[in-house]
Amino acid sequence: MEMFVIEGCQPLSGRVSISGAKNAALPIMASTLLSDGPNQLQGVPNLVDVVTLSQLLSSLGMKIERNKNDSLLLEVIDESCFIADYDLVRRMRASICVLGPLLAKRKKACVSLPGGCNIGDRPVNLHLKGLAALGADIRIEQGYIIAEAKQLTGAKIYLGGPFGSTVTGTCNVMSAATLAKGTTTIEAAACEPEVVDLGNYLNAMGAKITGLGTPFLEIQGVESLTGTDYKIIPDRIEAATLMMAAAITNSSIELENVNLAHMTAIVEKLQELGVNIRNSDDVVHVSSNGKLNTADCIALPYPGIPTDVQAQLMALLTITSGMNIVTDKVFPDRFMHAAELTRMGASIRREGPNAIIHGQGQLNGACVMASDLRASAALVLAGLAAKGATTIRRIYHLDRGYEKLDEKLNSLGAHIKRVKDSPENRPQEIQPDLISLSNIPDDAEKRSTIDPPKWLTKQERKTGRR
């Protein structure tokens, strides 16, 4: 396993280009199962989740070739298989996106229920409700969803749930409805730009979808879809993450391949915090002078602040000087990153559905553990701002959803080393031999008998203070 060692307080400068959107690429790749003929997708980010889905699609009879660095050629060459294997699906929840296309094109789909997740409950009841409304026979057997339908028929479907709509649920039902007989309406459809991108791609293949970007979709079923070429939208979550990297290090950077129209809510919130963001000639300039205001941030379905930037925003708020509130209305328990940020000196308290962040103005390096994709990004941001070195373990979480984030940040001046996860590579951890149980005094005044950690400076060893 690998980990990052980040030397904090390095100012950033320069320009990086944003990759294609992971959460558009995944459902679009899955929907190529619907098409006859080859598909050439541009802007497909080179990250672990794309590799995992490619393996799953290959197991479902898809030929996939990556030509040049960000484009994929995908063509179905065998339609006999309809089983999405548990071992692949458990690695990536987004594999559920093959359910709708498989059912519509191959009349049967057997997809493992996705595994658990650190950001909260991830039910698929709305996916199944929508597909059943299209006439599929759905049952759960031995951890698999088994869906069958000789011919899907158009229906009127409401996809609203207790936390708003469902992004991949809308993708599944919209994709399946393209080959249904008759017209389907989806009410309370997700409006995320990634869902719109999928809809635009399906229309480019010959589907007839209207209402994209609104909660009301109408899909007129067609006989077949033809493979086509398509360029995937930029990743708004990566762009927001890099904007916050500039903000948390009081830096000025430039970003290319950004669609600011997909980022109104998060850009407004960063500007409210005091971050300068402006666009000129398709380059976005982001700068911060270090004086950040406090804020009340609520993650909501699009066009609200995305839940996928909530953790990164929390990291940024820890260096403000005052009280901030963060609430996530999409995944109310998505706060695994809070405890790790606290290890770095942040003051964060849970109050029911809210997290109260008392900005301390400064973080300190520590050894922390990534728990999920966006929590990892939050810890990277915190490490960039922290005094001293920060070690982030289990960075495989980060590699699932960001294309070379460490390399992009290092090209801007960050000091991030990707090393093997081993005790000697963890500078902040007090090595077991420094504090042996026999040394621990039975009363406080002998505390100084404990050898201070080797990594403290001579002055700090003498005064006992950092």
* x/- map, 363-382, ligand EPZ, by CB under 6 A: ----------xx--------
What gap in Å lies between CA 335 and CA 133, rounded to an integer? 35
For ligand EPZ, the binding residue among 13, 63, 69, 123 (CB under 6 A) is: 123
CB of 5 or CB of 237, closer to ligand EPZ: 237
DSSP-derived letter for residue 439 is G
For ligand EPZ, the binding residue among 33, 50, 103, 167 (CB under 6 A) is: 167
CB of 235 to ligand EPZ, least distance (A): 9
Q: Is 21 in the site for ligand EPZ (CB under 6 A)?
A: no
117 included as an active-site residue: yes
Which is it for the CA torsion 388, 391, 397, 399, positive or negative?
positive
Q: Single out the segment in contact with ligand EPZ by CB under 6 A; choices: 3-11, 164-172, 181-189, 384-392.
A: 164-172
For ligand EPZ, the binding residue among 39, 71, 112, 166 (CB under 6 A) is: 166
For ligand EPZ, the binding residue among 23, 200, 249, 312 (CB under 6 A) is: 23
Which is it for the CA torsion 280, 286, 288, 292, positive or negative?
positive
Within 409-448, the residues that bind ligand EPZ by CB under 6 A are none
Amino acid symbol at 84 = A
For ligand EPZ, the binding residue among 82, 331, 335, 402 (CB under 6 A) is: 331
Is 346:318 a contact under the CB 8 Å cutoff?
yes
DSSP-derived letter for residue 445 is G
Is 120:331 a contact under the CB 8 Å cutoff?
yes
Q: Is 335 in the site for ligand EPZ (CB under 6 A)?
A: no
Which is it for the CA torsion 269, 274, 275, 276, positive or negative?
positive
CB of 462 to ligand EPZ, least distance (A): 46
CB of 340 to ligand EPZ, least distance (A): 16
Q: Is 122 in the site for ligand EPZ (CB under 6 A)?
A: yes
CB of 126 to ligand EPZ, least distance (A): 3
Query: Could you tell me where the DSSP H helices lie in 287-444?
Result: 310-317, 336-343, 373-385, 396-401, 405-411
Is 184:219 a contact under the CB 8 Å cutoff?
yes
Within 61-100, the residues that bind ligand EPZ by CB under 6 A are 93-94
Q: Is the preceding peptide bond at 303 cis, omega within 30 degrees of 0?
A: yes
For ligand EPZ, the binding residue among 48, 191, 330, 392 (CB under 6 A) is: 330
Q: Single out the segment in contact with ligand EPZ by CB under 6 A; choices: 2-10, 52-60, 116-124, 225-233.
A: 116-124
Q: Is 125 in the site for ligand EPZ (CB under 6 A)?
A: yes
Kindly give, in sequence order, each residue whose CB lies less than 8 Å from that of residue 111, ignoring residues fewer than 6 positions away.
Answer: 83, 84, 89, 95, 96, 98, 99, 102, 144, 145, 147
CB of 32 to ligand EPZ, least distance (A): 16
Residue found by looking up tokens 């963890």 in the block: 426
Count of residues that interact with ligand EPZ, criterion CB under 6 A: 26
Is 225:202 a contact under the CB 8 Å cutoff?
yes
Task: Count other Cβ atoms within 10 Å, centred on residue 424.
Answer: 9
Residue found by looking up tokens 């005790």 in the block: 423
Annotated active-site residue in 9, 81, 97, 117: 117
Is 121:93 a contact under the CB 8 Å cutoff?
no
What gap in Å lies between CA 70 and CA 66, rounded to an integer? 7
Q: Is 401 in the site for ligand EPZ (CB under 6 A)?
A: yes
Q: Which residues are catalytic?
A: 117
- Binding residues for ligand EPZ (CB under 6 A): 23, 26, 93-94, 119, 121-127, 161-163, 166-169, 307-308, 330-331, 373-374, 401
